Structure 1
């Protein structure tokens, strides 16, 4: 059952599975909805967060021989994992991908990819029809224009998908800072990928480690 409100609707690492779709040079070359560097940063942060929280992550490309390999920033996070290369534009029509996702036994399906209006929207809408609880990470995705990205998001929301950003997802997986088993890894990811939040944390550490001046007598 898919819940849209209440505690049960929040994402949990033990129930999540992540599919990263077509983060490749060909797609990045015509990415116009975002700063391309930001999408590389955000998709890398998303991959690192999934690894930190033990979330199974499927890497898939389309026609990699022509479109290029998935960004090394992502594959370096999973150095021993094979990438599933497809001919299907719609990832959810590729049985090899679907079988790997189903084998995880999880039902909270999280998707990010390039381009939003094509290689994200099609599998999201397809998987929703198959009964999956689907979340799209919008800032680790991107389209050929601002309009195409935004219209795709509207289309997927209308179909029943949930929209999040990578830091919101990681925070939802963490849920409670008293859960210390992943806190250090998440903090390290934020330091390297969350811009102002990461710098603010480093500044906080500097201040905490700065001796308080002695009061003049």
Structure 2
């Protein structure tokens, strides 16, 4: 009886897993249906992000903003109380997007509570939102949850979202995932938007992007170029 009961239990579990797998739909980022949000990437708040080194985090912030340029995404910038210690956006981000919609919030912690910001997102007509912010557990999470509630598919660039420590970041990412938010790396966001190296943006546009913001990948491409030019291929495929 015990063995029969065990077999029945295993069968039920496997059946449930099959149903779950069959029900899953992989939602991929679509560059034609996406808006990029730069949320509170302010020079004062930058000091609170301790889960990355300052050098890495600065690069990640700039890379996030650069996605809008590379993939021609409608981009919305927003800050929180920037005249105080939170500070302004980095000048590099402003230079990338001189004509982007820029919502300067005077008090709302959750950007979705700001009527102008909400209207700007809605006006894009896009249903997928790519976003990152400081801090991960507050400015990023609060907005991401509100966007999901409003019916958007939300993709958080975790590399460009920072907070006080890794524990806080982990808890925030878990909270977002439980609500249906996609939490991805910069590389994953980039590749999912590109989809195919033969596309535009593709190899020609993305390798310089990776060379600047993901140097491990950029230097891999440089090493390949050098080997081809020098005629010193590895010979591993011979």
Q: TM-score, normalised by structure 1?
A: 0.90
What residue in structure 1 maps to residue 50 of structure 2? 32
d(CA) in 2 for partners of 1:183, 1:5: 31
What is the Cα-based RMSD across aligned positions, in Å?
Answer: 1.8
Residue 50 of structure 1 and its aligned partner are, at CA, apart by 2.2
Q: Which runs of 5+ in 2 are unaligned?
A: 1-22, 234-238
Does 1:155 pair with 2:175? Answer: yes
Instruction: Check 1:131–1:189 CA distance in 2 against 1; reply closer, same or farther (3 A cut).
Output: same
Residue 211 of structure 1 and its aligned partner are, at CA, apart by 4.3
Does 1:80 pair with 2:80? Answer: no
User: Does structure 2 conserve the Cα–Cα contact (< 8 Å) formed by 1:59 and 1:82?
Assistant: yes
Q: Kindly provide the CA deviation profile for residues 86-141 of structure 1, in whole angstroms up to 9, marking residues without a partner as x.
A: 02110111111111111111100111000001101111111111111111110110
- Spell out the pairing of 1:55-204 with structure 2 (5 A cutoff): 55-66=73-84, 67-81=86-100, 83-86=102-105, 87-204=107-224
Q: Which runs of 5+ in 1 are unaligned?
A: none
Residue 181 of structure 1 and its aligned partner are, at CA, apart by 4.4
User: Does structure 2 conserve the Cα–Cα contact (< 8 Å) formed by 1:49 and 1:186?
Assistant: no
What residue in structure 2 maps to residue 13 of structure 1? 31
Identify the range of structure 1 (112-121 vs 26-35) with the bigger mean alpha-carbon deviation.
26-35
Q: TM-score, normalised by structure 2?
A: 0.83
Larger radius of gyration: 2
d(CA) in 2 for partners of 1:5, 1:154: 19
Q: Secondary structure at the match of 1:85?
A: strand
Q: Which has the higher contact order (CA 8 A, sep 6+)?
A: 1
d(CA) in 2 for partners of 1:84, 1:130: 19
Residue 30 of structure 1 and its aligned partner are, at CA, apart by 1.7
Does 1:54 pair with 2:51? Answer: no
Q: Secondary structure at the match of 1:128?
A: helix
d(CA) in 1 for partners of 2:75, 2:30: 14
d(CA) in 1 for partners of 2:109, 2:39: 10
Tell me the matched-pair count: 209
Runs of at least 4 residues of structure 1 off by over 2 A? 4-7, 79-83, 180-183
Residue 36 of structure 1 and its aligned partner are, at CA, apart by 2.3
